[in-house]
Amino acid sequence: MFSLSNIIRVLLLLMTVSVVWHHRLELLDLLATKAAVVKPIVFDNGTVRQFAPASEPQAAISQPTIPHGVMRRCTKGSEVSYSSSACPPGAKEKALSTDRFNVVPGK
């Protein structure tokens, strides 16, 4: 009446149903067809903030604009920093004598 092969088949069926029931949420997520939402990539390495459009009040400041990649000396209080990009907010750009060092362009 009950053979060993029938008992093994029933046990395998019960284990399969148990595993499927245990992972049912993950399986439903895999089977659901969701369209991936693609976000646009916006690159901002500082040049977006450095070069303001002419309509903004920042463009009306009478400081000479230095091209990107030229060495700048930024001072804020007693702190001095050197950079090839725009000075941070609150810092003032000072004159820099370039005869003391060489500016090497990046790759």
d(CA 15, CA 105): 65
Tally the residues of the chain: 107
Q: Which pLDDT score, from 0 to 100, does residue 29 have?
A: 81
86, 46 contact by CB (below 8 A):
yes
Handedness of CA 99, 105, 106, 107 (dihedral sign): negative
Q: What confidence tens digit (pLDDT) does each residue in 12-48 have?
A: 999 999 999 999 988 888 777 666 677 888 776 666 5
pTM value?
Answer: 0.32
Contacts of 93 (CB under 8 A, 6+ apart): 63, 66, 72, 73, 74, 87
Q: What confidence tens digit (pLDDT) does each residue in 49-85 have?
A: 666 555 545 444 455 566 666 778 889 888 888 887 7
Residue 93, pLDDT > 80, answer: yes
101, 70 contact by CB (below 8 A):
no
Give the C-alpha distances (Å, rounded to integers) separating 64 from 34, 59, 61, 93: 52, 10, 9, 10
